[in-house]
A = this chain, B = another copy of it.
């Protein structure tokens, strides 16, 4: 049974909406049946038409959509909504659909304030719904392999974690040139307290947690605005103290000129290390203490069940970003179809921890000092 889903946001020119739709389509486990694709009703209508939706299920606003879908019979209305709006709208949209008993798949960062995130946590728990946050990089098979290996102790004790997520696309004041993606991201009202941490740092933070299982306990952050005229930050370094005193370092930048989408995770343990890069996702580098390396390839060799279950093609047939994103979608579909209350996808708790991390980093930066970053989201 395919899962009926709707989308809020993702109208013309919105890169991420198309990604969500391809991810949902890839395995044939979803049908897109409704949407409010833009705050401009005309644009929403146009998108709905292009996507072949029934006109009566293309809505002028997310509030209309939530009410109308909520009013449809259970076998007809959407089972899940994908939220791909700018950050500041995540909260209100998610709440509207949760209140109608509809599962949510929401882009990151979860919300722009911690209060909102915590409110969603409680609502999800009350309503007993699924809430996935699209920290999509956890969907790569070799990230799952990394997680399995770290957790099985094959690196020994984790000692040091270095995660970097660097891009160059904001090396100029793009937001002053009418680029929509840049515009809302660098606006404190719409992007949140930290642009660079909200947009990409939160992915890096979640990736560390996913692979190592370690939480940030203390942190020291240095946030900077490199491009003149920019309102929010565009470059960040965050020193982390993880559970058990493990040393961590998170680097996030959007002014790393020429960098495309370089997310890289290195984990050094007492008995080995691993190294994975998102731009080369089909390889996982394992380093042994003697300095020799092993390169694992997706689909080849002795990989964990977690990795192989999220692999579609034989080795040497590259999988990429969409396939990883689709793994997240597929896992949500399977939870919906089986009535499971969880699955291998980032949850509202993960998203809330991400929001807390951003705010702790901003506080540390303001204080110029290490701050406590321990946290547990409500109702989790």
Contact = CB atoms under 8 A, between A and B. Distances in A.
Given A316-B167, A320-B323, A272 B258 contact: yes
Where chain A touches its partner, the secondary structure class is loop
Interface stretch (A13-21, A66-74, A79-87, A120-128): A13-21
Contact of A300 (B251, B260, B272): B260
A10 to B, nearest CB: 13
Contact of A162 (B15, B251, B288): B251
Given A226-B247, A290-B258, A321 B315 contact: no
A26 B28 contact: no
A107 interface: no
How many copies the complex holds: the figure is 4
Contacts of A169: 314
A189 B179 CA distance: 58
Interface in A32-74: 51-52
Interface stretch (A204-212, A291-299, A372-380): A291-299
16 contacts: A168-B273, A171-B270, A257-B272, A258-B289, A260-B297, A260-B300, A260-B316, A281-B318, A291-B299, A291-B301, A318-B318, A319-B321, A320-B320, A322-B322, A322-B323, A368-B369
Interface of A: 2, 15, 18-19, 21-22, 25-28, 51-52, 155, 159-160, 162, 167-169, 171-172, 220, 222, 224, 226, 235, 237, 239, 247, 249, 251, 253, 255-262, 266, 268-273, 278-282, 287-297, 299-302, 312-323, 368-370
Q: Which are the 9 A-B pairs with shortest beta-carbon distances?
A: A260-B316, A261-B316, A291-B300, A258-B287, A292-B301, A318-B320, A320-B320, A317-B321, A293-B295
